[in-house]
A = this chain, B = another copy of it.
Amino acid sequence: MEDTDSRSTVETVADALTEAVRTGRLVPGQRLTENEFTNRLGVSRSSVREAFRRLTADGLLMAEPHRGVMVRQLSRVEVDNLFQVRGALEALAVTLALPALHQAPSTLVALQRDLDAAVEQGDMNRFSQLNGRFHRLFRDTADNALLSDTLTRLSNSLYWLQFRVLVDRSDVFDTNRQHREVTECVVANDEGGARAAMLRHVENARKLIQSLPDDHFARPQPRKDRSRITD
């Protein structure tokens, strides 16, 4: 199955690992050994190590010295922390994207129409796909690469429960109501309202995740300090 290598070796490995995490073949918290993947993928240890590090930086895996890497899994506290940061950044994205979106709202309103339709039809997969596109529209329009990358990393940190969270219809209904609030505020050029609605939306997502049973979360983690730069 190995024909053209347009991408580099570590990219190939990283993609394979990403896919394995996304589809749940690699379970959150599961330990990954280097040898395992050198054999399975037929690449050298160096490449596997490099791919591990890259995915760790991206938030998909987590590493501990002398203990290797594992599929990232957050504790409840870490999830709360993540959503605090995410809220602040999504609100910033709203502020930055507002002028452009208000002036040319066609993409946003079309997207909102599709979201409404997906809710109407109860198509959860389509909804969650469009939901992602909704947030991406804001952070792409915000035109701030650092903001975009940071938000992406946060998303990746939740990758492990990607297909584990099954939202039912009432959840989707609530979520979409907040979407519509955001959209309406954008059309009305109401920055404060849009920010507040987006914050409510993020908070809602947090609650949805926290409502999962305990076994989806990592045990409270030991403190890892490693701050190279002091005073």
Q: How many copies does the complex hold?
A: 2
Number of interface residues of A (CB under 8 A): 39
Say whether A92 faces chain B, with CB atoms less than 8 Å apart: yes
Say whether A98 faces chain B, with CB atoms less than 8 Å apart: no
Q: Pick from B82, B84, B89, B159: contact of A229, CB below 8 A.
A: B159
Q: Summarize A's interface: helix, strand, loop or mixed.
A: helix
Query: Are A144 and B81 interface neighbours, CB within 8 A?
Result: yes
Known pairs A152-B229, A228-B15, A229-B159; A84 contacts B96 (CB<8 A): yes
Say whether A58 faces chain B, with CB atoms less than 8 Å apart: yes
9 residue pairs A–B, Cβ–Cβ below 8 Å: A53-B53, A58-B228, A78-B145, A78-B146, A81-B146, A84-B92, A85-B89, A85-B146, A88-B91
Q: A81-B147, A152-B229 are in contact. List 11 more A-B contacts (CB 8 A).
A: A53-B57, A57-B57, A78-B145, A78-B146, A81-B145, A81-B146, A84-B96, A85-B89, A88-B89, A150-B150, A152-B227
